Chain A
Amino acid sequence: DAMVIQNPRYQVTQFGKPVTLSCSQTLNHNVMYWYQQKSSQAPKLLFHYYDKDFNNEADTPDNFQSRRPNTSFCFLDIRSPGLGDAAMYLCATSRGLVNTEAFFGQGTRLTVV
């Protein structure tokens, strides 16, 4: 019954080697989010899409990019991963109406070696 699916669950990448994380949803929600969660910290919003409109957080590094080719899929691209980018990356969706629940995927744990 998974509604927000992230692949892969675990990703190991080399320092500086581009990596892409993927997220898909079966909920037909307008909004898709990418959060970065480091150990024992709050999920930190990187950016989100409202339909095709991309909204970047002011403090999100340029190293992070995103694509949303259609309603169901959203990708997180890390152009040149550094050791500090190792984290859990959570994708979430919401209907985009005022004050509605966010549905999370199980996350992708990224390791940079």
Chain B
Amino acid sequence: GENVEQHPSTLSVQEGDSAVIKCTYSDSASNYFPWYKQELGKRPQLIIDIRSNVGEKKDQRIAVTLNKTAKHFSLHITETQPEDSAVYFCAASPMDSSYKLIFGSGTRLLVRP
């Protein structure tokens, strides 16, 4: 089955700097890759997603890139702000069950003011 690895497990950046979180997946047939943000004590919420027919997607300060050949995808946050501090999870949707999500282990992002 699908396996998703996520790095780094923790990331500390200065406010205004960029943050990059990387994930790799094992099932080459996976075709949907969402990113969820989980603030302390709150539910995970979708922040951006990408499908396998595109290589990059951007939404204001957040962008996601996908390299299907290498089976990895990354989350890029520019001009980070303290409110970006949270745990970020990547996920992949296996082709054989397109409404299941297999999650990475999470990255705790701390943005220092």
Contacts and interface: CB of A to CB of B under 8 A. Distances in A.
Interface of A: 4, 31, 33, 35, 40-45, 48, 50, 55, 90, 94, 96-102, 104-107
B93 interface: yes
B98 A98 contact: yes
A112 B44 CA distance: 24
Interface residues of B, number: 27
Interface in B43-80: 43-46, 49, 51
A101 B9 contact: no
25 contacts: A4-B43, A31-B99, A35-B103, A40-B106, A42-B89, A42-B105, A43-B44, A44-B103, A45-B100, A48-B99, A48-B100, A50-B99, A55-B97, A94-B99, A99-B49, A99-B51, A99-B93, A99-B99, A101-B46, A102-B101, A104-B36, A104-B45, A105-B43, A106-B41, A107-B43
Given A40-B106, A43-B89, A100 B99 contact: yes
A107 B32 CA distance: 24
A22 B100 CA distance: 20
A99 to B, nearest CB: 4
Given A99-B32, A101-B34, A45 B46 contact: no
Contacts of A55: 97
Interface in B1-51: 4, 6, 9, 31-32, 34, 36, 41-46, 49, 51
Contacts of A4: 43
Contacts of B42: 106
A14 to B, nearest CB: 26
A42 B106 contact: yes
A45 B42 CA distance: 19
Contact of B43 (A40, A44, A48, A104): A104
A102 B104 contact: no
